[in-house]
Amino acid sequence: MGNRRLTILVTVALAVGWLGVLTGPAAAAPGDLDSTFAGTGIAFFDPAVGQDEGRGAAVQPDGKVLLFGEAGTGDFGLVRLKTNGDPDTTFGGGDAKVITNFGATDTANAAAVTSGGRIVLVGDRKVSNSQVDIAVARYLPGGSLDKTFSGDGKAAFSPGARDRGLGVALQPNGKIVVAGAADGAFAVLRVLPDGTRDATFGTGGVARFPLGKFLSQAMAVAVDSSGRIVAVGGTADLPKTSDLVVVRLRPNGTLDPTFSGDGKLRLHFSNVSFAGGMAIQNNGKIVVVGASGSDVAHQRFLILRLSMAGDLDSTFDGGFGFVTTDVGPDGDAAYGVAIQADGKLVVAGTSGLTLLPGADTSCVVVRYRPGGGVDAGFASTGKKTINPGSGDDQCLTGGIAPSGKIVAGGNSSGPGAFFAARLLSA
């Protein structure tokens, strides 16, 4: 009896073993971390001594990944990774990084790459609590500051006393469009290729709109195929409340009356509503992502699509034109969106937001079908949660690599504050 039991056990073990050989490891699926990127799908970098803060990642046309944010005690930090996620030692001083000091507390909030491979960073230069300037730096493809831009590769602009540079877009003619705020007003700044203000845009290079009684700011910007500028963000009449705002400008910086009647669209979805990112589809429709909810701890991903005329798109999400998604515990917010070649929308953001400091947040990526529903073929539920560390982890940007793979990045509590994750898309 004992020998018979042993024979049965051995036979079962051999069968299981052969089954494992025949089936092999589980096949990689859309939404999985890409193990060919930094070995685990997540790359980290600490650019300076001190407390770094990652603000996002951008993908170059050649597939290399840029990480950016605040380095050390307050400088622009820029890092480049190779397509396999390793530090690119051909960049900067051979250590894959560039630190840029504007002479104050400086934070890079957005990045873009020109057709010639030059890199543009925009952000803030905080001189004091009462003076914050918009800061712009341009780098040559190898990482050195481009001295054909403002003489030394960097420029600061003060359209008001307390200003912000939060988003950036590049025009085909080399002009740089910056979205942000000027003294609490929604503002768009345009900079010439030589680093000076574009006097043909707005007033002295700045178009500003005090949309709310309390505070307004633009978070992201894009340029459409006709040269019109679309900026999105939020506005508030009272503290702890906000509405989502979309503004479209003509190429000269004046409001475009063919959009929503007067060039401005203000939407109130809940007590707290705002736009954190945007993209323009090939057909001209505008995709806006952000958040909406009763407060920070109860807000959800908000995705909406607008027609070229500024109306909610009746072909999106069953005719509503917008969709909200409960991504994870506590509050969620979307900050970046990218459009795949098949029209699916990849949205990056943060989950786990609360009203209390020190929240344990996570990076999240959600994929939507072209018509607006969550794509259940992505990460089995349409939602991918990434925890590069064990504390405050946030995804603030999303992009598509030339290979079609998905790149999201931001701030990590893990082994490096600057981080990027790459996910499989198919």
Give mean pLDDT in consecutive 10-residue pieces for the chain, a chain of 426 residues: 34 32 65 98 94 96 97 96 98 97 96 95 96 98 98 97 97 97 97 98 96 94 98 94 97 98 97 97 98 95 98 96 94 98 97 85 97 96 95 94 97 94 97
Q: Contact at 8 Å (CB) between 181 and 216?
A: yes
CB neighbour list of residue 305: distance below 8 Å, 6 or more residues apart:
285, 286, 287, 288, 312, 313, 316, 321, 322, 372
| pLDDT at position 25 | 53
pTM of the model: 0.93
Q: Which residues pair with 154 in a beta bridge?
A: 137
Residue in 177, 184, 76 with CA at minimum distance from that of residue 132:
184
| pLDDT at position 12 | 30
| pLDDT at position 359 | 76
| pLDDT at position 328 | 87
| pLDDT at position 26 | 63
